[in-house]
A = this chain, B = another copy of it.
């Protein structure tokens, strides 16, 4: 075995339009330090790739292919929704990870994900120590939900925020055009099952030169039908139309997701999903206004074509910092974004111990939501504004973004099969 250890990198959970920019930061930085880091292996479909010894050898990818990751959305190596159990509940999984790492001379573990992933990375670090095969474990923050603690924001959030703000500004122009004789209310559903960060970004559609009537439904605020209808009606009476942003996580008075309020369709099947159509129907039935509704779903988190330049720079920076940290001898930490000032926006890379990140959710602070519960406060705007700034367009070919496609050459397996 060479004394130069290889690295393992994996993408975890729901992907974003910039998680590959973090991968680009990891791999390019590792390639710049071949005296200290050998090959970067990427897990095929995340941590499952490590457990099943399905390791993509990134050495087969050209420098151009790795550079294309910076502008390619989603998880180029595949991601997975798979949370390792606790050390007590399933020690064998951790032992298997260490065995795979040992078999492929892997001494660095870079795990690109949200809170659960940071928890896993933390446990792998502990397990390596216990088993006498120490692994340097560095988390790389990622989540459109913006719910990781300590860090100012999470790579992925700024771009989905920009998508939502741009889309709502554009749709508002459409509704304003149509409202004299047709649609008066437009409802757009956005992601965010627990926290209203993405819904809040919809408020950025309006600014000092774009006076757009908006009503925002946050998951943090219990849905009050009468109050909501009153807010919408007031906007329609004043402006002629109203735009509603509804978080998928909004719950009714009984604590049930609005999105699950659907009944059965004509085929006799349960209607699942869609807070927007539920809201739209409530408006029509109670106020009689013609509506349109949109659910952007994956489009919002995959929209690399309109990603935030700030977000991409931060996504790359946390990937690069993860490798720099490892080279500097740090362990069981995650790079963070530290905000130095709002305007002009200045930030630098910080660091936090994985044990302080794992399983902590950052919710919207109460002073970010207006007293009526339907808008954001100036403090929230000051926080959000810089995160959506800057454009960073991908290259186009024949009218479409020419996103990168990797070879994904797998390393030969050395161990017996492992069933996940």
Chain A contact residues, CB within 8 Å of chain B: 11, 14-15, 17, 45-46, 48, 72-76, 78-82, 162, 165-167, 169-171, 173-178, 180-183, 186, 188, 204-205, 207, 209-210, 256, 261-267, 269-274, 276-278, 280-282, 284-285, 292-299, 301-306, 308, 385, 388-391, 393, 396, 398-403, 405
- Would B265 and A293 count as touching, CB distance under 8 A? no
The answer to whether A265 and B262 touch (CB under 8 A), given A302-B171, A398-B385, is yes
A64 to chain B, nearest CB (A): 13
- Would B299 and A294 count as touching, CB distance under 8 A? yes
Q: Which chain B residues lie closer than 8 Å to A45 at the CB level?
A: 180-181
Give the complex CA separation of A393 and B390 in angstroms: 13
Give the complex CA separation of A401 and B15 in angstroms: 26
- Would A297 and B293 count as touching, CB distance under 8 A? yes
Please, which residue of chain B has its CB at the minimum distance from the CB of A281? B269
- Would A399 and B403 count as touching, CB distance under 8 A? no
Q: Which chain B residues lie closer than 8 Å to A263 at the CB level?
A: 263-266, 271
Q: Which chain B residues lie closer than 8 Å to A277 at the CB level?
A: 262, 271-274, 277
Q: Which chain B residues lie closer than 8 Å to A302 at the CB level?
A: 167, 170-171, 173-174
Excluding A388-B400, A390-B399, 10 further A-B contacts by CB distance (< 8 Å) are A72-B173, A74-B170, A80-B182, A167-B299, A262-B266, A267-B281, A272-B280, A273-B280, A294-B298, A391-B393
Which of B73, B166, B391 lies in contact with A170, CB distance below 8 A?
Answer: B73
A115 to chain B, nearest CB (A): 17
- Would B261 and A170 count as touching, CB distance under 8 A? no
Q: Which chain B residues lie closer than 8 Å to A284 at the CB level?
A: 269, 272
Give the complex CA separation of A270 and B261 in angstroms: 12
- Would A176 and B265 count as touching, CB distance under 8 A? no
The answer to whether A269 and B293 touch (CB under 8 A), given A302-B170, A305-B306, A399-B385, is no
Q: Which chain B residues lie closer than 8 Å to A278 at the CB level?
A: 265, 267
Please, which residue of chain B has its CB at the minimum distance from the CB of A297? B294
- Would A207 and B281 count as touching, CB distance under 8 A? no
- Would A170 and B389 count as touching, CB distance under 8 A? no
Please, which residue of chain B has its CB at the minimum distance from the CB of A167? B299
Please, which residue of chain B has its CB at the minimum distance from the CB of A274? B277
Q: Which chain B residues lie closer than 8 Å to A82 at the CB level?
A: 181
Give the complex CA separation of A270 and B271 in angstroms: 12
- Would A74 and B174 count as touching, CB distance under 8 A? yes
Identify which of A76, A210, A294, A302 gathers the most chain B CB atoms within 10 Å of its CB.
A302
Q: Which chain B residues lie closer than 8 Å to A292 at the CB level?
A: 297-298
A345 to chain B, nearest CB (A): 10
- Would A399 and B17 count as touching, CB distance under 8 A? no
Give the complex CA separation of A165 and B78 in angstroms: 22
- Would B281 and A270 count as touching, CB distance under 8 A? yes
A66 to chain B, nearest CB (A): 17
- Would A388 and B399 count as touching, CB distance under 8 A? yes
The answer to whether A15 and B174 touch (CB under 8 A), given A180-B48, A294-B298, A398-B207, is yes
The answer to whether A298 and B265 touch (CB under 8 A), given A165-B399, A401-B166, is no
Please, which residue of chain B has its CB at the minimum distance from the CB of A186? B298
Which of B72, B75, B166, B271 lies in contact with A271, CB distance below 8 A?
Answer: B271
Q: Which chain B residues lie closer than 8 Å to A177 at the CB level?
A: 11, 15, 74-76, 78-79
- Would A181 and B393 count as touching, CB distance under 8 A? no
- Would B174 and A301 count as touching, CB distance under 8 A? yes
A-B contacts, 13 listed (Cβ < 8 Å): A45-B181, A72-B173, A75-B178, A78-B177, A79-B177, A81-B182, A174-B301, A209-B405, A262-B277, A263-B266, A269-B282, A272-B280, A294-B295
Give the complex CA separation of A14 and B179 in angstroms: 11
